[in-house]
Amino acid sequence: MPLQKLTPQRLQKLYSDKLKEDYSSVTVIAIHNLLHKALDYAVRWELVAQNVCNKVSPPRRVRPEMKALTPDQVQRLLDAARGHPQEALFILALSTGMRRDELTGLKW
């Protein structure tokens, strides 16, 4: 399909189809961003008159619900981590709820 035939409706259908195919919203947003950038170049090079991505909204990012570990899962994790070089890090993560970036940014 030539670039000139690309319409906002076709893009919106592409996004909808990808979501129906179980692509994550983050992946569809990445597709939108890539197309947007490519079409910006096409406009700059006068291959198309306008960037149709400007007329289409990508899906909103859906964040999966966070689930806390059960006490049994915590105990199994601690048992598995026993003797591991990072055992203290696992214990700290479980007892404080710190995020990965916060934990890895610590200086011992």
Note the pLDDT tens digit of each residue in 61-72: 988 788 889 999
Considering the domain boundaries, does residue 63 fall inside one? no
| pLDDT score at 108 | 63
Same domain, 33 and 7: yes
Global pTM reads 0.62
For residue 98, what are the domain limits? 71-104
| pLDDT score at 57 | 92
Give the count of domains, the chain.
2
- With a CB cutoff of 8 Å and minimum separation 6, the contacts of 50 are 43
- The pLDDT confidence band at residue 44, using thresholds 50, 70 and 90, is very high
Same domain, 24 and 51: yes
d(C-alpha 66, C-alpha 47), whole Å? 45
Considering the domain boundaries, does residue 97 fall inside one? yes
Considering the domain boundaries, does residue 37 fall inside one? yes
Residues 7, 52 contacting (CB under 8 angstroms): yes
Same domain, 7 and 50: yes
d(C-alpha 16, C-alpha 18), whole Å? 5
d(C-alpha 52, C-alpha 9), whole Å? 9
Residues 47, 3 contacting (CB under 8 angstroms): yes
Considering the domain boundaries, does residue 49 fall inside one? yes
70-104, pLDDT tens digit by residue?
A: 999 999 999 999 999 999 999 999 999 898 889 88
More confident residue, 4 or 41: 41
